[in-house]
């Protein structure tokens, strides 16, 4: 009987100690604000607003800056582009969206899902997200040629994003993406694989420097035209972000004249080394329900 009571006391003490250790062990939570917005110039970040959050976005690009003061560095140049869109976070880590763009009158439908969130104790060292987009070219059917089919208007973009908040002021991301157009010009491939790097360097409580560099790759295995006629060129961008509790404002210069990612990956012909850059800005506004 004494032996039985002794065993019970030992087990009770062991269980109490284990319980106390479990309670004292800190919980590993996601890092705070690796990025202040789901957008980073022409790219997406791993960030998704809280569930039941509606986001409205205006993205605007002016004309090419290479004419200098003659058109006020593109502010009054032809070829300005604008996109307006809405995104809604259905549940935690899942966002869907729709937007319409002036260039080619693209309507685009998108979804983004965060697979992993970086944690403060480094249990999960990186954040991982997937972004997909389907674009519908809204121009007159005559631009698609004689053998026009409704599916010729469709284009697709998918991207894997891996990001890490390095410290309190620096966050970095790398990405790889695949673009497909059902219909292109006769000398342009239908498929394109790209890689990119982007990031955010915060220098005050509300302001950060943003940067991006996206490179469409020349991969012969998926190329239809071995000469790579008029291949798309890299998209370089640098910007300034100002953030409030419900708004994010970006002003930037970037190479590509498009706004939706598949257009930039497939058709960008501007070369930043020749000074072919465009001034742009974006504004987001969020509401919670």
SS (H, E, C) 84-125: EEEEEEEECCEEEEEEEECHHHCEEEEEEEEEECCECCCCCC
CATH topology for 31-288 is Porin (2.40.160)
pLDDT band at 65 (very low <50, low <70, confident <90, very high): confident
pLDDT of residue 78: 79
pLDDT exceeds 50 at position 105: yes
Q: Is a pLDDT exceeding 90 seen at residue 83? A: yes
For all residues of the chain together, what is the average pLDDT? 88
- The average pLDDT across 257-284 equals 93
Cβ contacts of 187-190, under 8 Å, gap ≥ 24 = 187/225, 187/229, 187/230, 188/225, 188/229, 188/230, 188/266, 188/267, 189/222, 189/223, 189/224, 189/225, 190/224
Give the pLDDT score at 229.
Answer: 67
- pLDDT for residue 15 is more than 70: no
Which residues have C-beta within 8 Å of that of residue 10, sequence separation ≥ 6? none
Answer yes or no: are the C-beta atoms of 236 and 212 closer than 8 Å.
Answer: yes
pLDDT tens string 41-58? 999 999 999 999 999 999
Question: Is the predicted pLDDT of residue 13 greater than 70, yes or no?
Answer: no
What does the pLDDT read at residue 135? 97
Read off the pLDDT of residues 158-181 as tens digits, 9 standing for 90 and up: 999 999 999 999 999 999 999 999
Per-residue pLDDT tens digits for 206-253:
999 999 999 999 887 776 655 566 789 999 999 999 998 788 999 999
Weakest-pLDDT range from 32-41, 59-68, 209-218, 251-260: 59-68
Q: Inform me whether the pLDDT recorded for 107 exceeds 60.
A: yes
Q: What is the pLDDT of residue 278?
A: 93
Task: Give the end-to-end CA distance of the chain in Å, rounded to a whole number.
Answer: 62
| Contact of 257 with 82, CB cutoff 8 Å | no
Q: pLDDT higher for 145 or 96? A: 96
- Residue 266: pLDDT band (50, 70, 90) is very high
């Amino acid at each position: 009987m004494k032996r039985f009571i002794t065993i019970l006391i030992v087990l009770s003490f062991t269980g109490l100690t284990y319980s106390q250790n479990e309670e004292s062990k800190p919980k590993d939570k996601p890092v705070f604000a690796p990025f202040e917005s789901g957008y980073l110039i022409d790219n997406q970040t791993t960030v998704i607003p809280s569930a039941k959050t509606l986001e409205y976005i205006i993205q605007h690009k002016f004309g090419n800056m290479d004419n200098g003061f003659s058109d006020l560095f593109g502010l009054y140049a032809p070829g300005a582009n604008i996109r307006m869109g809405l995104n809604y976070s259905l549940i935690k880590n899942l966002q869907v969206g729709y937007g319409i763009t002036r260039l080619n009158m693209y309507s685009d439908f998108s979804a983004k899902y965060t697979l992993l969130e970086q944690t403060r104790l480094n249990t999960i060292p990186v954040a991982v997200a997937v972004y997909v987009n389907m674009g519908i070219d809204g121009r007159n059917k005559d631009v698609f040629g004689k053998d026009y089919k409704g599916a010729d208007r469709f284009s697709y973009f998918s991207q894997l994003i891996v990001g890490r908040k390095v410290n309190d002021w620096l966050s970095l991301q790398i990405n790889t993406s695949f673009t497909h157009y059902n219909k292109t010009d006769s000398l342009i491939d239908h498929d394109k694989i790209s890689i990119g790097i982007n990031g955010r360097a915060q220098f005050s409580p509300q302001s950060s420097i943003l940067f991006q560099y996206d490179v469409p790759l020349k991969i012969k295995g998926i190329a239809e035209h071995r000469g790579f006629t008029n291949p798309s060129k890299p998209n370089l961008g640098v910007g300034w972000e100002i953030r409030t509790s419900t708004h994010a404002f970006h002003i930037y210069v970037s190479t590509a004249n498009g706004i939706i990612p598949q257009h930039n990956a497939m058709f960008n012909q501007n070369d930043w080394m020749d000074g072919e850059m465009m001034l742009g800005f974006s504004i987001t506004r969020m509401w919670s329900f």
